[in-house]
Amino acid sequence: MLPITIVGLGSYLPARVVASAELEVALGLPPGWAEQTTGVRERRYAAGETSAGMAAEAARRALAAAGRDLGELDLIVGASSGPQQAIPCTAALVQRELGAPDGRSACFDVNATCLSFLFALQSAAHMVAAGAYSCALIVSSEIGTHSRNPAEPEGATLFGDAAAAAVITRTPQGEPGALQCAKFATYGSGAGLTSILGGGTLHHPNDPATTPEMNRFHMHGPGLLRLAARTLGPFLDAFFAEAGWAREEIDLLVPHQASRNGLGLLTARLGFRPEQVFLNLAERGNCIAASLPLALAEAAAQGRVGRGDRVVLLGTGAGMTIGAVGLTF
């Protein structure tokens, strides 16, 4: 157990709302296909925003909610699947975008695709609890425009753009906030089920053999669902045993908004009551790494979670990796 508290949450949504009906026309899909297949009615698309700019706006709102100023930040962690550019890390660009004092905060990025925020939260929690840093900002910002693959309509209609941020501090003596348990497991046999082949050393952007197709997102949805269905149950049993909690004791489960079928596993097969689970997939889509912190921020804004509540953040990411973090909020 790590004595840390999320003292502020913030989010940013691009202004452009894209309804599923609009995408169905653009992709030549039957009316109603997108929502029926993915569970997404509408999503936001960035229109001129940058990843760092979106992250900075979410960060400003998180800092305001926390009652903290920029001079108090001594750690900024970028937690996204898509960096704004290859070098430097997005966290450094966010520091500059915020106008945070030069040299006051250390900056680095974490990329674990959809689980980037959870890995960043675990990492920052250890450092803050140990006293290495006192006030950490985690930002997740995703713009998937150029990676959406029109040849795979399920993926092309599933994703949305968003940013979210959290401010982390050490919990004062006598207060309840804590990271109770964090657990991750990767099943490399599923590494080929989700991919963007380009952008790295294997298919470098400057290599003439690299094609535009290599820079688009590919997903084998049925294979992912089968692997998740097989592994999530035993994973969660182990997680709750380590946390010392029972499923029925959870005040709120905040899942990565992966897909309608994936979310359906939580109540149909994994033992959670519908009222325990926070969902925003229909209005936001799958916002990749921003999905989990965005859902947590919206749950808090709606009064679904309060101080002392038991909250579990749960998701899957490319790899395939499963992750869960239990918080006494």
- Report the phi/psi class of residue 28: left, alpha or beta, with left for phi > 0 and alpha for psi in -120 to 50: left
26 contact partners, CB below 8 Å, separation of at least 6: 150
Length of the chain: 329
Tokens 């009316």 locate to 31
* Catalytic member of 89, 107, 114, 181: 114
Q: Give CA–CA dist 188/7, Å, rounded.
A: 35
* Enclosing H/E stretch for 207: none
* Catalytic residue flag (residue 256): yes
* Catalytic member of 135, 181, 286, 287: 286
Task: List the Cα angle 21/27/33 in 5-degree steps.
Answer: 50
Q: Give CA–CA dist 206/32, Å, rounded.
A: 40
* Catalytic residue flag (residue 220): no
- Residue 61's nearest CA partner among 115, 11, 27, 103 is 11
Q: Give CA–CA dist 292/114, Å, rounded.
A: 8
* Catalytic member of 89, 111, 135, 256: 256
Alpha helices for 112-256 (secondary structure H) = 116-130, 153-158, 221-243
- Residue 52's nearest CA partner among 97, 102, 100 is 97
Q: Give CA–CA dist 329/278, Å, rounded.
A: 15
Q: Which 3 state secondary structure label does DSSP give 41?
A: coil
Q: CA–CA distance from 176 to each of 94, 103, 191, 310 (Å)?
A: 30, 32, 38, 10
Q: Which residues are catalytic?
A: 114, 256, 286
